[in-house]
């Protein structure tokens, strides 16, 4: 019995020590405390010690237990989740874009650059070759990481939708820090930026349906999403969000991650019509249908938002689900013919002219294996 207790204690001590060392790495960041935590506790979306979705949202669904679902995802059969060919890229020089042009440049996955009405915006930049705490995990598809932090010019507004590794990348935000004037994020996410050396005065944290006046006729409103947060063992200590960005000439919906729910119709009723809805379309699975949109739900979201056009993202860079890598784009193009909502499918780095309704995009993924 003593030997069993000794082995158990030693194992527990070793695991605790490893966890302490790993979770203590700078890239995990720091969770909210002090005044920031006190503000969080006042949020109507924070209950029982964590942020809550509007509706009950289990992470995994179906008859399998959580452990079984994770096991099947990690070790189950997968086909073509990663392309054999290199992802094609147009390497647009973001710094030399005509300042009078209103353009969007997709940087892969959920990262994109917007230049509109004289301002430069960056959303969820993950410009490393991995989307994980460690460089050997969740590697980018060949060619898809062509854009690096060094390619990012001065940014007026950096939007972060939530703290997951494929949306908030430590290496990227550290490297672009000298170029970022203002960070807009959900409650608590500013704790990471402050820990990583950003000026607290440059960070604006918003609860759902709170807004900030960025400039004359520039308004950013945090809106709900159905998802979760966490970079380590503790979940839902910071808020996940979508955003409605109102510029002097457009309304853009920054979707982030999240499953379908009533909030999309709420947002459409409050802010619609939306000129461009940027929605996740990729890394989905019936086993986590409440925290990521399924393909058949994307156009319903666009309708709920009263969106004039749709840009599907969250694809073509990282394999975070078991579907074939090009399935999301194939399904969106097919469904677009039925719903009559323009779907923008640029290559990584290909400028999207935000004020041009006739711009055509090739089905570039069709040529790849």
The pLDDT tens digits of the residues spanning 89-110 come to 999 999 999 999 999 999 999 9
Cα–Cα distances (Å) from 138 to 122, 134, 208, 231, in that order, read 22, 9, 30, 15
Q: How confident is the model at residue 286 (pLDDT cuts 50, 70, 90)?
A: very high
**Per the domain annotation, does 149 fall within a domain?**
yes
Least confident of 13-27, 52-66, 172-186, 213-227: 13-27
Domain count, the chain: 1
pLDDT per position as a tens digit, 307-360: 999 999 999 999 999 999 999 999 999 998 889 899 999 999 999 999 998 999
* pLDDT number for residue 68: 74
* pLDDT number for residue 77: 78
pLDDT per position as a tens digit, 107-128: 999 999 999 999 999 999 999 9
End-to-end CA distance of the chain: 58
Does the N-terminal peptide bond of residue 332 adopt cis geometry, omega within 30 degrees of 0?
no
* pLDDT number for residue 245: 98
Q: Is the pLDDT of residue 8 over 70?
A: no
* pLDDT number for residue 2: 43
* pLDDT number for residue 131: 96
Query: What CA–CA distance (Å, rounded) separates 344 from 206?
Result: 29
**Per the domain annotation, does 188 fall within a domain?**
yes
Max Cα-Cα span within the chain? 76
* pLDDT number for residue 19: 42
**Per the domain annotation, does 23 fall within a domain?**
no
Instruction: Work out the angle between the directed axes of helices 263-271 and 295-305 (0-180°, nearest 10).
Output: 30
**Per the domain annotation, does 86 fall within a domain?**
no
**Per the domain annotation, does 3 fall within a domain?**
no
**Per the domain annotation, does 19 fall within a domain?**
no
Average pLDDT, rounded, for the chain: 92
**Per the domain annotation, does 43 fall within a domain?**
no
Is residue 284 within 8 Å of 294, Cβ to Cβ? yes
pLDDT per position as a tens digit, 14-31: 434 344 445 669 999 999
**CA-based nearest residue to 169, from 107, 98, 219:** 107
**Per the domain annotation, does 62 fall within a domain?**
no
* CATH code for the domain of 148: 3.60.15.10
Q: Is the pLDDT of residue 59 over 70?
A: yes
**CA-based nearest residue to 365, from 327, 309, 312:** 327
Average pLDDT over residues 64-84: 78
Q: How confident is the model at residue 266 (pLDDT cuts 50, 70, 90)?
A: very high
Average pLDDT over residues 211-226: 98
Tell me the H-state helices in the chain.
2-23, 34-41, 66-75, 170-175, 190-195, 263-271, 295-305, 327-339
Percent of the chain with pLDDT over 90: 85
Average pLDDT over residues 208-217: 98
Average pLDDT over residues 203-231: 98
Q: What does the chain come to in residues?
A: 369
Give residue 147's domain range: 94-367
* pLDDT number for residue 24: 64
Q: Is the pLDDT of residue 72 over 80?
A: no
Q: Is the pLDDT of residue 138 over 50?
A: yes
Average pLDDT over residues 275-292: 96
Is residue 301 within 8 Å of 260, Cβ to Cβ? yes
Least confident of 18-32, 191-205, 268-282: 18-32
DSSP 168: -
Q: Is the pTM of this model over 0.85?
A: yes
Query: What CA–CA distance (Å, rounded) separates 143 from 77?
Result: 25
pLDDT per position as a tens digit, 152-170: 999 999 999 999 999 999 9
């Amino acid at each position: 019995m003593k030997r069993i207790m000794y082995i158990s204690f030693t194992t527990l001590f070793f695991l605790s020590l490893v966890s302490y060392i790993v979770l203590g790495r700078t890239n995990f960041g720091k969770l909210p405390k002090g005044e920031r935590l006190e503000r969080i506790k006042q949020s109507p979306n924070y209950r029982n010690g964590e942020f809550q979705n509007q509706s009950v949202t289990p992470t995994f669904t179906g008859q399998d237990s959580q452990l079984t679902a994770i096991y099947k995802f990690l070790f189950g059969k997968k086909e073509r989740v990663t392309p054999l060919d290199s992802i094609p890229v147009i390497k647009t020089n973001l710094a030399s874009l005509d300042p009078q042009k209103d353009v969007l440049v997709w940087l892969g996955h959920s990262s994109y650059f917007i230049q509109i009405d004289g301002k430069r915006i960056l959303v969820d930049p993950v410009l490393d070759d991995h989307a994980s705490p460690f460089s050997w995990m969740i590697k980018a598809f060949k060619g898809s990481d062509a854009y690096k932090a060094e390619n990012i010019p001065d940014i007026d507004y950096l939007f972060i939708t939530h703290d997951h590794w494929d949306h908030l990348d430590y290496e990227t935000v550290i490297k672009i820090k000298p170029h970022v004037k203002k960070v807009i994020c959900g409650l608590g996410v500013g704790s990471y930026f402050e820990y990583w050396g950003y000026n607290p005065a440059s960070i604006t944290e918003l609860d759902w349906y709170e807004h900030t006046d960025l400039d004359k006729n520039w308004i950013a409103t945090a809106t709900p999403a159905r998802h979760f947060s966490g970079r380590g063992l503790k979940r839902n200590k910071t808020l996940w969000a979508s955003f409605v960005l109102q510029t002097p000439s457009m309304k853009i919906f920054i979707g982030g991650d999240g499953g379908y729910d009533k909030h999309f119709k709420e947002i459409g009723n409050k802010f619609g019509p939306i000129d461009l809805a940027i929605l996740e379309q990729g890394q989905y699975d019936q086993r986590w249908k409440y925290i990521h949109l399924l393909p058949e739900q994307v156009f319903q979201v666009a309708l709920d938002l009263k969106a004039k056009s749709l840009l599907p993202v969250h694809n073509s860079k990282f394999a975070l689900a078991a579907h074939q890598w090009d399935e999301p784009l194939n399904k969106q193009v097919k469904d677009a013919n039925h719903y009559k909502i323009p779907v923008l499918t640029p290559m990584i780095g290909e400028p999207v002219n935000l004020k041009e309704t006739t711009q055509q995009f090739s089905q570039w993924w069709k040529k790849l294996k």
